[in-house]
Structure 1
Amino acid sequence: MDVHDKQTRSKNMRAIRSKNTKPELLLRRLLHKEGLRYRVCPKAIPGKPDIWLRKYNAAIFVHGCFWHMHGCAVFKLPQTRQEFWKSKLESNFARDKVVQSQLRRLGIRVLVVWECSLKGKNRLAKPMINLLVKTWLVSGSSSGELTEQGLYAN
């Protein structure tokens, strides 16, 4: 059972942003302090990545663990309207995979930074986030993920 009435839940859901989220702003500040320059949500790049680093030919997506079905402790399927949420979140997950494969076909490198690595009790320290992102950028790896456990590069 939902703890909020319908109007309160609707108000809360409308307040959720699709860009300029707190995790995204945190990562952008960290990158800027390191001297890395980027573009925000360029429309010319498939999937409009949250951060585009032309110098490294790299797209960075900052994914919310709930909205993109990350398999961490932060993700939990809601108890109400489970069929709706499962369908919605699975379509987000499938879209992410399609966009990432499109980018790799174009020769664009893709890094997914998960919300759990940036906030919460198991988050990584800011210097560690900087080090891991910079390591991935210079590595030449075609794709990678930054989670609360660290960096996984492919």
Structure 2
Amino acid sequence: MTDVHSKATRSKNMRAIGTRDTAIEKRLAGLLTQAGFTFRMQDAALAGRPDFVLDDYRCIIFTHGCFWHHHDCYLFKVPATRTAFWLEKIGKNVARDARDIATLIGEGWRVLIVWECALRGRKRLDDNALTERLEEWICGGGQAAEIDTLGIHALTVAAP
């Protein structure tokens, strides 16, 4: 199946996809602020350029898009065109994520991934449920976890 857009149009569309101040980052920032947490955003000095750094709790929060980071949920669909290209590209993102998370944990940070499906879409968590999960993890401990539409789960991390 061929792409419905010309190469130039597809390229323009892909360049327009933001890497910071996305809708899911803005929603999460609002919830963290309402809950009284202070944080820094997009720290380039740390592995993976974390979306949120909560120094007081020595924790990092990433907001991951389900497509770009290959989350096994209803928002992830393998593209019908250039499938091998996309699977390779997304696979590299997943490998980089694992490396960055292992590096951060090795440096003494705790890491939380909040998946896009938990923040937007028909199965998203409401603000109260999401805030409860965030507070539970930030204040309660745990080295690595993820939040998706099913709640909060421990995250298995490979050694660096």
Structure 2 unpaired stretches of 5+: 156-160
**Cα deviation, residue 43, structure 1:** 2.0
Indicate conservation of the 8 Å contact 1:136/1:153, yes or no.
no
Report which stretch shifted further, 113-122 or 40-49: 40-49
SS where residue 55 of structure 1 aligns? helix
SS where residue 42 of structure 1 aligns? coil
Q: TM-score, normalised by structure 1?
A: 0.96
> Aligned Cα RMSD in Å?
1.0
- Cα deviation per residue 1:36-83 (whole Å; 9 max; x = unaligned)? 110001122221100000011000000000000001010011111111
- Write the distance in 1 (CA, Å) between the matches of 2:11 and 2:139: 43
- Write the distance in 1 (CA, Å) between the matches of 2:107 and 2:7: 44
Counterpart of 1:142?
143
Indicate conservation of the 8 Å contact 1:68/1:89, yes or no.
yes
Q: TM-score, normalised by structure 2?
A: 0.92
Counterpart of 2:24?
23
Describe how 1:5-154 pairs up with structure 2 within 5 A.
Answer: 5-153=6-154
Indicate conservation of the 8 Å contact 1:67/1:92, yes or no.
yes
Q: Runs of 4+ in structure 1 displaced over 2 angstroms? A: 1-8
State the number of aligned residues.
154
**Cα deviation, residue 144, structure 1:** 0.3
Structure 1 unpaired stretches of 5+: none
SS where residue 59 of structure 1 aligns? strand
Indicate conservation of the 8 Å contact 1:59/1:109, yes or no.
yes
**Cα deviation, residue 5, structure 1:** 2.8
**Cα deviation, residue 35, structure 1:** 1.1
- Write the distance in 1 (CA, Å) between the matches of 2:134 and 2:19: 22
Indicate conservation of the 8 Å contact 1:23/1:115, yes or no.
yes
SS where residue 70 of structure 2 aligns? coil
Identical aligned residues as a percent: 43
